[in-house]
Amino acid sequence: MSDWDELAIEKDDALLATPFMVEMLRQMRAVDRYGIWDQAGDHEILDPFIMTSERKRCIPVVGDPDEDVLARVSAWYNGLAAAIERGGGRMAVPFIHLSHEGFGRALVTVGRLIVVDNTLRDVHRFGFRSLDAMVEEANNTVARAVQLITDHDDVASL
């Protein structure tokens, strides 16, 4: 569960049923080794991804990412890779390299083609301003990646 008293996602938010959010729930449940999320609702599981300005104010500007944040970052890029794989028809593999201070890089490759390349900074504050923004970012990233696969299928097939 999140550290905040109030949830940023409503229980019946229609965006929770979108294909990418269903994939994110699958990814978050996959990293839940101890069954912490077993009794939680979908909105509670995805709530820590929402980093409103009020929540950001509660987190120090400088800090090291904890295990929960790292799991969310991993789930995000695994979810993107799964959606890219479905859309592009080729296996997509995420690679994340982070320093202990929360700086690094995230890539998603398809064959020898890099379809996502993000620089990561201040990972301890990783999140999206709203569920709408999260879905929009995912959809845009997946669409760009699938277009790259289409445009460069010769490299993606290597």
List pLDDT tens digits, range 41-96.
889 899 999 998 888 888 777 778 888 899 999 999 999 999 999 999 999 999 99
CA 50 to chain centre: 11
Q: What is the mean pLDDT of residues 106-116?
A: 97
State yes or no: pLDDT of 148 exceeds 70: yes
Backbone phi, psi, residue 138, to 5°: -65, -50
Identify the pLDDT of residue 4.
Answer: 57
State yes or no: pLDDT of 37 exceeds 90: no
Q: Is 118 a domain residue?
A: yes
Mean pLDDT of the chain: 90
Identify the pLDDT of residue 55.
Answer: 83
Tokens in use for 26? Answer: 């699958």
Q: Among candidates 158, 73, 75, which has minimal Cα distance to 113?
A: 158
Q: What 3-state DSSP class applies to 71?
A: helix
C-alpha span between 107 and 145 (Å, rounded): 11
116: domain CATH number? Answer: 1.10.3100.20
Largest CA distance in the chain: 50
State yes or no: pLDDT of 100 exceeds 70: yes
pLDDT bucket at 128, cuts 50 / 70 / 90: very high
Q: Is 5 a domain residue?
A: no
Q: Is 145 a domain residue?
A: yes
Identify the pLDDT of residue 91.
Answer: 96
Identify the pLDDT of residue 3.
Answer: 54
Q: Is 108 a domain residue?
A: yes
Q: Is 40 a domain residue?
A: yes
Domain tally, the chain: 1
State yes or no: pLDDT of 1 exceeds 60: no
State yes or no: pLDDT of 117 exceeds 50: yes
Instruction: Look up the domain containing 152 and give its range.
Output: 14-156
Tokens in use for 106? Answer: 């995230």
Q: Is 19 a domain residue?
A: yes
